[in-house]
Structure 1
Amino acid sequence: MCGIIARVGSDNGVDELLNSLSNLDYRGYDSAGLAVVNGDIRPTVVKCEGSIEDLGTRIDGRLAGSVGIGHTRWSTHGPPTDENAHPHTCCDGRIAVVHNGIIENHESLRERLVAAGHRFDSETDTEVVPHLIETYLKRGCDPETAFRRAVGDLSGSYAIAALIGDDDTVYATRSGSPLVLGVGDDEYYLASDVPAFLEYTDRVVYLEDGQLLTVDPEGYRLTTFDGRTLDPSVETVNWDPEQAGKGAYDHFMLKEIYEQPHALRQAIKGRVDPGTNELSLEEFEEGAFADVSDVQFVGCGTSYHAALYGVHLCSNRGIPAAAYLASEYATSQPRISEDTLVVGVTQSGETADTLNALREADRAGARTLALTNVVGSTAARECDDALLIRAGPEIGVAATKTFSSQVVCLLLLAERLARDRGLDESSSDLFAALDALPDAVQRLLDETSARSIAERYSGANSFFFIGRNTCFTVALEGALKFKEITYEHAEGFAAGELKHGPLALVTPETPAIGVLDGPDREKTRHSLAEARARGAPVVAITCDPESVDDVADHVLEVPRTHLELAGVLANVQLQLLSYHAAAMLSRPIDKPRNLAKSVTVE
C-alpha cells in the first residue's frame, strides 16, 4: 500500500518529487524518502520516519537532481523507523530501490545474501532487492540485465523502481502492484497512482505485470521480461488536476463528501433518460447479460458494503445474487458456472484481495466484471468487462463519494441485467428519482444538522447503527466510517438482530442511530423503541421526521426519494456525522492510524 514516485527530466526535480509524494500520502504516511542522481557515483538518499513534511524539513533545499525516486511507506515488515524507510540501498550505496508490495521469499533471499557477505540495515523485505542487483552487477551484468535478473529471483507482489550508480535511468517493473508512467513534454513520471503527477501531465501508460520499463531524459522503453520491445498506447486521463487538491476544505474527506452531487451526475450522465425510461450502458452490447444465471459480488471494506447493497438491488429484480468478502471468496467455494457473473467492486481497481477473488472466479470459468473508478486499473484490464463509476480522484483514506457512485452504478447494472434477461423493467419513477438524486444530496448538504448531533454525543462509550435491507448495509458502512476516523467504538447491526444479543450492551451512553427509509421502516422504528426503552439516546435518519417523534431524540432528515436510493442519502448524513465527530476529537481525518487508501497486499 506504499506510494512510489519517480521523476526523470533535465532540471532539478526535487520539489516535484516531494510534491508528488504529498499527493500519494493516502497510500501510506509513516515514513518517507528520496534518492536522486546528482553526479556522484551513487545516488544521494535522504529518508526518515514521519511525514513527508518531516522529509522536506530534513532536505531543506540541500538536495538537487533531475532524476530521482521517492517513497511514502505503510509499514508491513518492521516498524516506522529511519532505517526501515525507503529507498533502500546495497552495501556500497550505488543502488537505491523503492518498493510497494510484499516479497514473499525475502527471508530465504536474505539468508543467501548474508552468507555471501552482504550487510543489511533494515527489517524490511525490500532491502534484498538492491543487494540482488549488486550481486548481478558484480558478476558482469549490465544494469538493465542485473535489474531483470534480480527481479526474476523474487516471488510475491511488487512494484519496484531503482536507480543504479550515476546513471540517469530509472528501472521499474510490477507484479500485482500498480505502476503508471506519466508522459510529459520534457520529463517523465512513474507512480503508484495517477494523482501523484496529475498536475504535471495527464498522458499516461499503464504498466502490465511482467513488463520492464526503463526511463531516461531521452525517453522510455517498455519491454517484456524476455526483452521483447512493446509499443504501449498513451492514454489521456480525464481527471481535472484541481480534483486531486484539497482546495478551501480543511480535509480531503470533507471535500469529497461535498463533491458527491458532481460525482453522482458523472455516474449517471448519458446513461439514463427519465423521460423515456431508456438505459444506455455503452460499455456493453445489447443483450450482453442475457445468459447470466446469477451474480456474485466481491469486495473489501466500503466496497463490500456497496456489494451488499448490490445484492438487494439484484434480488429486487428477481436476479439471484450474493456478496462475499473478497479475502474469503476462495475458501467460501461458491458454486460457479459459465453463466455466473462475478463483479469485483473496487474503487482503485488494485485491491489485492479483490483481484485474487476475480482471478479465482476467472479460473473457475465465470464471467468477470470490474466496477471501478480507475480506467487503466488492473481490475479493469483483467476482467472481461468494466463499468466505471466516474467519481474522480478520491484522496481521503475513508471512502465517501465512491460509495455513493458505486451504489448508483450497481443500480444501473442490476437494471441492465434485468432487462437483458427479459425481466420487468423498473418504473419511470426510479429513473426520475435517480436524475434528481444529485440535487437531493446537495439539498441535504446545505441543510444538515449532523454537526450539532456529533457535538451532543461526543464522549459516548459506543455507537450502534441499525437498519434493514439496503439500510442495513448503510448502517454497516456508517459504523465503519465512524470507527475509521474517530477511533471510537461503533458497530452496525441488522435492526431485527438488536434484540438477539446486542441489546445487552445498550446503556444511556450508547446512542442508537437508525436508518429508517427502507421497505421495513416500521420494524426498524420498533427496534429503536426497544433501544430507547433501555435508556439509549436515539438518532433517526428519515425523510419523515414526524413519524419518529415518539422514538427519536434527534433526527437527521433526508429528502424523500425512491426506496432503492434512500440509503444513498442516509449514508451522506452518516458520513457527515462521522466527520464532525472526528473533527471534534482532533483526529487526523485524512490519515487514520494504521490505514491506507489502496490495499495492494493480502
Structure 2
Amino acid sequence: MCGIIGVASIGPKDDVLAKITLDALKSLEYRGYDSVGMASMDSSHLEVRKCAGNVEKFEKLRRPLSMKGTIFLGHTRWATHGEPNDINAHPHLDCTGEVAVIHNGTVLNFLELKHDLISKGHKFTSDTDTEVIAHLIEHFRKLGMDNFSAFKQAIQSIQGDHAVLAIVKGDNRIFFSKKNNPLVIGLGDEMNLISSDIWSLIHVTNRTIPIGDDEIGHITATSIYAEKLNGEKIDLKSRLIVQQIDSSAISLEGYESFMIKEIRESWGAVRDTIAGLMGDVEIGKAVKALDRARRVFVVAAGTSFHAGLIFSLRLLRNGKTVIPVIASEHEFLETDEDDAILVISQSGETMDSLLALKRFKSNGSFVISLTNTLGNSISSYSNVALHTRAGPEIGVAATKTFTSQVGALLLLSSMIIGESIDYLKEAETVVANSFSKSIGYMEKIGREVANKSSMYYLGKGLGVPMAMEGALKIKEIAYIHAEAYPAGESKHGPIALVEKGFPVIFVNTGELVDELRNNLKEMQSRQARTYVISAGPELKSDSETREIVLEVSDPRLTTLALAPPLQLIAYYAAKERGTNPDRPRNLAKTVTVR
C-alpha cells in the first residue's frame, strides 16, 4: 500500500524536480506514512535520502529540496516487511550503490532469493523484501546483461503482486513493472512521470496512461516504452486519458483538514455522481445485466462494503437474490455465467476486490464495477465500468466517496427495481441540509464520546449498514472501539457490556420505529448514555437522550442524510483526542496487499 513516484526531465531545473517529487509524495502519503525517501540522479551521481516518519518529518530532517538531478524517485511506505525505521525506508540500493529501487507490494519468495544472493557475496542492509530486487538487478548486470534486460530478469525472478520503479546510475531511464498494484504514467512538458495514482500527477499534468498487469518498460523525459513479459510491444499512447480534475481538489484551501473539507464537498459530489451516471450509456448495460442475473454478488471491502449492503438490501426487498461478499472472503464462493458481479471500490485498485473480480470473471460471470477514478485496474477488467464523480479524496477515511457511492447505488437499484428516480433530484439538498443542521450537535457528541474506550452503534433495516459505517469511522480516526449491531440483536449478548455512561448511538431511518424505541429504552434502563440521529419519525425518548431529527424529503434518501452526521461525530472525536483525522495510524487509503 506504499506510494511511489518517478520523474524524468530533460535537464536540471534547480530544485523544481525535487519539489515536484516532494509534492507528489505529499499527495501519495495517504497510501502509507511509516517512512519516506527520495533518490536523485544524473549522469555522474546517484543520491538517496530517507528516514522513518511522515513527509513533513522527512522534509525537515533530510532537506530533499536541495537534491539535484534529472531523474528522481520518491517513496512513502506502509510497512510490511521490516519495522518502520531509517534503514528499511525506500529507496534501496545494491552493493555498488549504482541501482536504486522503490516498490509497492510484496516479494513472496524474498527469503529464498536473499539467501541465494548472500551466498553469492551480496551484502544486505535492511529487513525489507524490496532490497532483493536491487541486488537481483546488480547480479544480472554482472552476468553481462544490459540494464533493461537485467531489470526484466529480476522481475521474472520475484513472486507476488508489485509495482516497481528502478534506476541505474548513468542511464536516463526509469524502469517499471506492474502486477496487480496500481501504476500510471503522466505525460508532462519536457518531462514524464510515473506514479501509484493520478492525484499525485495532477499538479503537473492531466494526461495519463494506465499501466496494465504483467507489463514492463521504461520512461525517459521524452519517451515511454512498454511490453508484455513475453516481449510483445504495447501501444501505450492508445490508452491516453485526459483527466478532468480541478487541481484545487487536492489542496486544503484554508481548511484545517482534508476530512472536514471533503465532508463539506459531499453534496456536490453526490449531485455530480447522479448527473454523470444518468448521462452514461453504460448504466443501461449494467441495469440489464443485474436485472436478468440469476444471482447478484456485491463485492467490496471496508466502507464500500457498507454502501454495497444498502444496495443489496434494496434489491433483496424487491425479490432479487443478492449475496453481499466481503472481498477478502471471496474464495469461499463460486459463481457461474448466470451470475452478475457488482464490484465497488473507491480507488479501483483494492487488491482483494480485484482478485475477486478476476476469479468470478474467469467463471463466466458478468462484471460491473463502480469506482471513483478513470483508468484503474478494476475498471479495466470489468464488462461495464461505472464511475462516481466525487473527485480526489485525500483523507484516508472515506467521506464524500461513500456518500457518492450511496447516491450512485440508489440510482442503480431504483432503475433495476423499475421505480421513478425523480426523488434523487433532492439528493444534493438533503445531504447539504443534513450537514448544516447536524454539525453543531455532532461536535458536542464527538467531544462527549472522545474520552470513552468503547461504544455501540445500533439501527434497524437500512440503519444497520449506516451504523456499521459510523462505527468504522470512529474506530479509524479516533481509535475508539466501536461495534455496530441490528438494534434487536443487542439483547443477545452485547447489552452485557452496557453500564452507566456507556455511549450508544441509535441510527434511525424511520423503519420499525416502535421497535427501535423499545431498544432505546432497554439501553436507557441500563443507564447507557444514548444518542439518536433520526432521518425519520422522531423516537421521542426521554430528555436525557440527545436526538437530532434531519429533514428528508423522501424516505429513500435517509441513508444519504445520515452520512454527514456519522462522519462528523468521528471527526470531532478525533479532534478532541488530538489524533490526525487525515492520517490515522496503521492505515492506508488504498489497500493493495492481500
Q: TM-score range by the shorter chain?
A: over 0.9
Counterpart of 1:422?
none
Structure 1 position 201 matched with structure 2 position 200: no
Question: Is residue 182 from structure 1 mapped to residue 189 from structure 2 by the alignment?
Answer: no
Deviations 1:175-194 (A, max 9, x none): 01000000012111110011
**C-alpha deviations, 1:207-255, integer Å up to 9, x for none?**
0011122111222112222333321221111121111122211111111
CA distance in 1, matches of 2:564, 2:221: 46
Q: Which blocks of at least 5 consecutive residues in structure 2 are unaligned?
A: none
Question: Which residues in structure 2 correspond to 1:146-185 (within 5 Å)?
Answer: 146-185=150-189
Higher mean Cα deviation, 58-67 or 467-476?
Answer: 58-67
Structure 1 residues 97, 461: CA separation in 2 closer, same or farther (over 3 Å shift)? Answer: closer
**What is aligned with 2:8?**
8
Counterpart position of 2:586: 594
Identify the residue that residue 318 of structure 1 maps to in structure 2: 319
Q: Map 1:129-528 onto structure 2 (within 5 A).
A: 129-232=133-236, 233=238, 234-272=240-278, 281-285=281-285, 287-331=288-332, 333-334=333-334, 336-418=335-417, 425-426=418-419, 428=420, 431-448=421-438, 449-528=441-520
- Check 1:95–1:401 CA distance in 2 against 1; reply closer, same or farther (3 A cut): same
Identity between Structure 1 and Structure 2 (%): 36
Amino acid at match of 1:394: E
Number of residue-to-residue matches in the alignment: 584
- Higher mean Cα deviation, 406-415 or 145-154? 406-415
Query: Which amino acid is the alignment partner of residue 43 of structure 1?
Result: L
Following TM superposition, by how much is the alpha carbon of 1:441 offset from its aligned partner in structure 2, in angstroms?
1.3
Q: Is the 8 A contact 2:42 2:169 kept in 1?
A: no
Query: How far, CA to CA, are the matches of 1:556 and 1:590 in structure 2?
Result: 27
Which residue matches 2:54?
A: 51
CA distance in structure 2 between the aligned counterparts of 1:148 and 1:299, rounded to whole angstroms? 33
Deviation at 1:288, TM superposition (A): 4.5
The secondary structure found in structure 2 opposite 1:548 is coil
Shift of 1:130: 0.6
| Greater Cα offset, 434-443 or 543-552 | 543-552
Deviation sequence 1:56-88 (CA, Å, 0-9, x none): 223324311121111000000011011100000
Residue by residue over 1:409-454, the C-alpha shift from the partner in whole angstroms, topping out at 9 and shown as x without a partner, is 1222223333xxxxxx22x4xx333111111211122222211222
- Deviation per CA, 1:378-407: give whole Å up to 9, x if none: 100012111111111111111111111112
Is the counterpart of residue 555 in structure 1 residue 547 in structure 2?
yes
Distance in 1, matches of 2:86 and 2:280, equals 53
Query: Residues 451-497 of structure 1: CA distance to partner in whole angstroms, max 9, x if unpaired?
Result: 12222333123221001111100001100000111111111111110
Q: CA offset at residue 329 of structure 1?
A: 1.3
Separation (CA, whole Å) in 2 of partners of 1:585 and 1:506 = 23
RMSD: 1.7
Amino acid at match of 2:488: G
TM-score normalized by the length of structure 2: 0.95
Hey, what's the Cα distance between the residues in 2 that align with 1:289 and 1:296?
10
Paired letter, 2:252: K
Q: What amino acid is the match of 2:127?
A: E
Question: Secondary structure in 2 aligned to 1:125?
Answer: coil
Give the drift of 1:556.
Answer: 2.8
Query: Which of residues 91, 103, 110 in structure 2 aligns to 1:106?
Result: 110
Q: Which moved more, 1:407-416 or 1:386-395?
A: 407-416
1:4-42 superposed Cα distances (whole Å, 9 cap, x missing partner): 0001112331111111101100000010001111342x5
**Separation in 2, partners of 1:546, 1:317:** 27
Q: 2:556 maps to what in 1?
A: 564
Contact 1:528 1:551 survives alignment (8 Å): no
Q: Which moved more, 1:55-64 or 1:305-314?
A: 55-64
Q: What is aligned with 2:38? A: 34
Aligned equivalents of 2:290, 2:500: Cα separation in 1 = 51
**Are 2:6 and 2:73, in contact at CA under 8 Å, matched by a contact in 1?**
yes
2:574: which partner in 1?
Answer: 582
Pick closer, same or farther for the CA change 1:546–1:146 going to 2, 3 Å: closer
Q: Is residue 82–residue 127 contact of structure 2 (8 Å, CA) maintained in 1?
A: yes
Instruction: Give, in whole Å, the separation in 1 of the partners of 2:61 and 2:43.
Output: 21
One-letter identity of the residue aligned with 2:228: T
Partner of 1:78: 82
Structure 1 residue 308: Cα displacement:
1.2
Partner secondary structure for residue 564 of structure 1: helix
Provide the C-alpha distance between the structure 2 equivalents of 1:217 and 1:281, rounded to a whole number of angstroms: 38
| TM-score, scaled to structure 1 | 0.94
> What is the alpha-carbon distance in structure 2 between the residues aligned to residue 367 and residue 551 of structure 1?
53
Aligned partners of 2:114, 2:430: CA distance in 1, in Å? 58
Q: Is the 8 A contact 1:556 1:573 kept in 2?
A: no
2 CA distance for matches of 1:551 and 1:348? 44
Q: Deviation at 1:316?
A: 2.6
Could you tell me which runs of 5 or more consecutive residues in structure 1 were left unpaired when the two chains were aligned. Answer: 273-278, 419-424
**Contact conserved, 1:314 with 1:321, CA < 8 A, in 2?**
yes
